[in-house]
Amino acid sequence: MNTKSADDDADGLLKRVLGIERHELFGVGWSFLYFFCILSSYYMLRPMREQMGVASGFDTIPILFSSTFVVMMLATPIFGWVASRYPRRTFLPWVYGFFALNILIFYGIFSYALNNEVDTVWIGRVFFVWVSVFNLYIVSVFWSFMADIYTRDQGRRLFGVISAGGSIGALVGPFMTGVLVVPLGFQNLMPVSACLLCVGIICIRKLRDWVQHEHEGEVIETVATPKALGGSPLAGISHVAKSPYLSSIAFKSLLASLLGTALYMFMNKLVGETYASADQRTQVFAYIDGTSNFLTILLQLLVVRHAVGKLGVGLTLAIMPIFSFFGFLALAASPVLLAVALLQGARRSIGFGFAKPSTDMLYSVVTPEEKYKAKNFVDTAVYRGGDVIGTWSVKFMWGLGMSGISIVMLPFALLWSGIALWLGREYNRRDRKIEETT
């Protein structure tokens, strides 16, 4: 009797603090580990990408992002074809296995080049583009999977906690790179990154089995289904074009990317001018990522669920653009490295702490095909399209200086906040409609 009472108390505390019910612990645990592994993998590589962007030269950044966008546009129909032809339980592990193999290939190429004193500038540029594609695909597929296996109510309660798994991984990854890159060499960290992706594949299999057990009798509607999604490989594009809801999510992504790339170019320029050593620049980027990701963990574990519950999805989505408005306003007054680093770190924390989980909740009220194809198109091609617009725009405006460019960003931040509020209202309308029909 006492044991049961203690278990009930523990269950009550778990639900009050983290929003997790006992039957969800297995799924949340594997989801947490899954996101931890893929973001640890990415964040081990991200500081290397940033350093290679600096080494490539400030003027090449728009070209690098344009190249990334072209690759995204080529990859989108390929992903759509795979999603149409093969069951989700089959193609999800393939995605991570493909990228793990890519990492090992880069490891071999960089090792050969460094051992034989071959110039790595062009290899670094290819790696920059590849990492810029890699990170969006692995995260987009992850959240499509989460939106597929959890209900709308579970998403509101659990996505913050699950996101914290990724944030812890995003803290561990750059910390490992920052500590080990000088004694080991950046290329020797790549096999570790590949292994983490392989652990993610194990997590997918565990979650697939859990979903099949949790939704026994409803397998046809879950990720465990043996059926493919079907439809056109380009359905993601057509869904976004036809749906005001999805097109608004896409436009919000463009605005977020525009402001983010402006800040990215500021950081790239200032770090390149301040630090001469490649290893030093890698460490600086690693520690900035690590600090912002630590703050993100606190927000995701303790604040996100309560923010969504108290404020609703719309106001939670609006936190990021409103903060960006005041951040760029402050940057206009003091465009120095410390101010840029603080703003970038804070925006990343708020972005992953509030904006990302609440944005992913928006896909819990769309069809399975839209969750995978439309979401993938928005998270990859549209997002990188925003990077292209942002980097070229900032380059053309560079004569205004960082202060002038920061002022230009202010109305875009206000427009972004208005779209966020509209999306929140539309999400609520769709949610009520689904409730009424079930």
- Given pLDDT bands bounded at 50, 70 and 90, which one contains residue 8? low
- Domains of the chain plus CATH, in order, are 10-430 (1.20.1250.20)
Distance from C-alpha of 238 to C-alpha of 137, rounded to nearest angstrom: 19
pLDDT tens digit sequence for 280-332: 777 777 777 777 777 777 766 666 666 666 777 788 888 889 989 999 998 89
pLDDT computed for residue 30 by the predictor = 93
SS3 per-residue string spanning the chain = CHHHHHHHHHHHHHHHHHCCCHHHHHHHHHHHHHHHHHHHHHHHHHHHHHHHHHHHCHHHHHHHHHHHHHHHHHHHHHHHHHHHHCEHHHHHHHHHHHHHHHHHHHHHHHHHHHHCCCCCHHHHHHHHHHHHHHHHHHHHHHHHHHHHHCCHHHHHHHHHHHHHHHHHHHHHHHHHHHHHHHHHCHHHHHHHHHHHHHHHHHHHHHHHHHHHHHCCCCHHHCCCCCCECCCCCCHHHHHHHHCHHHHHHHHHHHHHHHHHHHHHHHHHHHHHHHCCCHHHHHHHHHHHHHHHHHHHHHHHHHCHHHHHHHHHHHHHHHHHHHHHHHHHHHHHHCCCHHHHHHHHHHHHHHHHHHHHHHHHHHHHHCCHHHHHHHHHHHHHHHHHHHHHHHHHHHHHCHHHHHHHHHHHHHHHHHHHHHHHHHHHHHHHHHHHHHHHHC
Chain segment 139-162, per-residue pLDDT in tens: 878 877 887 788 777 777 787 788
Paired tokens of 357: 């989980």
pLDDT in tens, 93-145: 888 999 999 999 999 999 999 888 888 888 989 999 999 888 877 887 887 78
pLDDT tier at 417 (50, 70, 90 boundaries)?
very high
* Four-CA torsion 35, 40, 41, 43, nearest 10 degrees: 120
Q: What pLDDT does residue 431 have? A: 84
Whether the pLDDT of residue 392 is over 60: the answer is yes
Residue type, 93: P
Task: Give the model's pLDDT for residue 148.
Answer: 76
Q: How far is Cα 18 from Cα 31, in angstroms, rounded to an integer?
A: 14
Compute the mean pLDDT over every residue in the chain, rounded to the nearest whole number: 81
What percentage of the chain reaches a pLDDT higher than 90?
21
pLDDT at 334: 85
Amino acid 329: pLDDT: 92
Percent of all residues in the chain with a pLDDT value above 70, rounded to a whole number: 84
Q: By the 8 A CB rule, do 428 and 313 touch?
A: yes
User: What are 325-369's pLDDT values in tens digits?
Assistant: 999 998 898 888 888 888 887 787 777 667 777 787 888 788 777
Length of the chain: 438
pLDDT of residue 35: 93
Provide the pLDDT for residue 304.
62
Q: Is the pLDDT of residue 403 over 80?
A: yes
Task: Kindly indicate the confidence band of residue 220, based on its pLDDT and cuts at 50, 70 and 90.
Answer: very low
- Check whether 1 has a pLDDT greater than 50: no
- Is 405's pLDDT higher than 90? yes
**Residue bearing the bigger pLDDT, 386 or 155:** 386
In angstroms, the CA 46 to CA 63 distance is: 18
pTM > 0.85? no
Q: Is the pLDDT of residue 219 over 50?
A: no
- Interval 16-70: pLDDT, tens: 666 778 778 888 899 999 999 999 999 889 888 888 887 888 788 888 888 888 8
pLDDT of residue 305: 61
* Cβ–Cβ under 8 Å, residues 185 and 114: yes
Residue 390: pLDDT above 50?
Answer: yes
pLDDT in tens, 226-247: 454 555 556 777 888 888 999 9
Give the tokens for residue 198: 């392989």
Instruction: Enter the tokens of residue 416.
Output: 């972004």
Q: What is the CA radius of gyration of the chain?
A: 21
pLDDT score at 423: 93
